[in-house]
Amino acid sequence: MDPLPSCMFDVFALSLPRGLAFGENPPVSAWRSYDWITIGALTRNATTNRHGVLTMRRRVDDVWAVLRWEDDAFTEEEAMAILRQVCDETAGRIPVPSGTKRRPSLPDFRGKELSGIFKLLAHPSRHRGAWMLNQLYLAMPNPDDNWASDCRTENFHSRLWEALLLASFREQGLLVTQDRPSPDFHVSNRKGGEAWVEAVTANPAERYDHANTEEAPIPQDRRELTLGTAAVRYAKTIKNKLDKGYAHMPHVAGRPFAIAIADFHAPGSMVWSRAALLGYLSGIYVRELEQDGKRVAVPEVVETLLGEQPIPAGLFSTPEGEDLSAVIFSNAATLAKLSRVPVSFGGPTTDYRYVRIGEFADFTPGALRGIPFSMDVNSDEYRALWAPYRYEPWTAEMEVFHNPNAKHPINPALFPEATHWLPIDGIMDCKRFYEHSILKSRTWILGADDRIPTVDDLVFQETHDSTNHTGDDGTIAEARVT
């Protein structure tokens, strides 16, 4: 048997019902067979120091199946002997259990024409991201029958968003099930209770080519940015889901219900549309005024969004919104996220490098702007942002906006590593797990010898150009928020 890097084991462990929730028995080393069909982990109990084993093997459809899982049962020598035996034995993939659907192959390109965005995964600079998407798909407990075909074609982003949600939930140690056709996920843990989560994407009124369309211009008027087209698109998307009555389904009624939303309503819109979601949910527009020589934020309550139709603002303050416990949001449902996570594992990247540039949130009272940054994703400096992980976590960009008027609130402990916006003493307060929160960013794919952009380059680019950038090797840099 051969050693398996802990970061790789973490990827495969997302297939476990509770993901990385090992409690008192965390893995201390991981191992694999020569053909990668079988993996195993040596665990150690934090109280007794006795060891356990977890062994998994691929099914014929590549889904992981647990062979043996025993905690706090062996000496280290006994446990290692078990791992060596299962990893070294001659064994093929195991059959799909009777009554279980065989998982369709995601890389099966027969049939419908592939979407342009899916085809981008074939580029050598994105091979790690393509591999990661397949692992997340294989980790899903019960995806729709058409999940793989949807992912390869026009519904790529909807399926990508579901895969990233699964990764985030199980990374945080949640029990994730898909035993009902809808909502998409039931999640629970021992400290935070449970919730039902429906995933949705804000889509354009007319489809566009995600792979080749230049970014839409960022609204320059702050009121339009907060209450305009993007807010209207969020409102229509969320209302459509609320009208389906998920919160009143027998298995959901009386329990917390959340909508998880990602934005694709315009090319590159997730770079800037977070403010529009907040404007719609809260019904508050924040104006910038100069007082005593300083720029300050002044909140203003608004009744409706901009546009021809009088769509009410402030969903969380309406009777219709009481069934919605929270809105889960991320601005990182991107190809770049799929690649950044495995690139941040470390190791050589001979042909390409991923550089992330953007703004950290500034939590200084009264701050109105973010803090610029530029970092190589495969660097100790970047990995240091995400302690206790040794790589970029799936939950890094997840935010949970809690409804202060919800009938069935969500316990923040349910999502222990997300950023939470909670009603405290009449105002929304931010509770975050990671010291650094990224407001917005782009990921540039550069050649191995290209110069890493500096913060000054970022300022120049924001001032002079908002379109895609190209490295010296001709690869298109990721010009979407990540």
pLDDT for 231-247, tens place per residue? 999 999 999 999 999 99
Tokens at 212, concatenated: 């080749």
What pLDDT shows up at residue 1? 93
**pLDDT of residue 478 exceeding 80:** no
Q: Cα–Cα distance between 321 and 408 in angstroms, integer?
A: 11
Q: Which amino acid is at 202?
A: A
Q: Which of 370, 361, 388, 392 is nearest to 167 (CA)?
A: 392
What pLDDT shows up at residue 295? 75
User: Binning pLDDT at 50, 70 and 90, where does residue 454 land?
Assistant: confident
**pLDDT of residue 417 exceeding 50:** yes
Are residues 148 and 118 in contact, defined by beta-carbon separation less than 8 angstroms? no
What pLDDT shows up at residue 465? 31
What pLDDT shows up at residue 350? 73
User: Binning pLDDT at 50, 70 and 90, where does residue 452 land?
Assistant: confident
- When pLDDT is averaged across residues 408-414 and rounded to a whole number, the result is 97
User: Binning pLDDT at 50, 70 and 90, where does residue 468 land?
Assistant: very low
What pLDDT shows up at residue 302? 92
**pLDDT of residue 311 exceeding 90:** yes
Tokens at 479, concatenated: 């010009």
The residue that leads in pLDDT, 428 or 399, is 399
- When pLDDT is averaged across residues 303-313 and rounded to a whole number, the result is 91
What pLDDT shows up at residue 366? 65
The residue that leads in pLDDT, 443 or 426, is 443
- When pLDDT is averaged across residues 379-404 and rounded to a whole number, the result is 95
What pLDDT shows up at residue 293? 75
What pLDDT shows up at residue 470? 26
What pLDDT shows up at residue 348? 76
**pLDDT of residue 444 exceeding 60:** yes
Tokens at 292, concatenated: 């005593």
Phi-psi region of 451 (alpha: psi -120 to 50; beta: other; left: phi over 0): beta
Average pLDDT of the chain, as a whole number: 89
**pLDDT of residue 477 exceeding 70:** no
Q: Cα–Cα distance between 325 and 61 in angstroms, integer?
A: 37
Tell me, rounded to whole angstroms, the distance of Cα 145 from its chain centroid.
22
Give the global pTM: 0.92
Q: Cα–Cα distance between 32 and 307 in angstroms, integer?
A: 57
pLDDT by residue (tens digit) across 8-41? 999 999 999 999 999 999 999 999 999 999 999 9
- Range from 168-172, 325-329, 451-455 carrying the lowest mean pLDDT: 451-455
What pLDDT shows up at residue 460? 36
**pLDDT of residue 426 exceeding 80:** no
pLDDT by residue (tens digit) across 289-298? 777 777 777 8
The residue that leads in pLDDT, 227 or 464, is 227
User: Binning pLDDT at 50, 70 and 90, where does residue 456 land?
Assistant: confident
> pLDDT > 90: what percent of the chain?
73
**pLDDT of residue 463 exceeding 50:** no
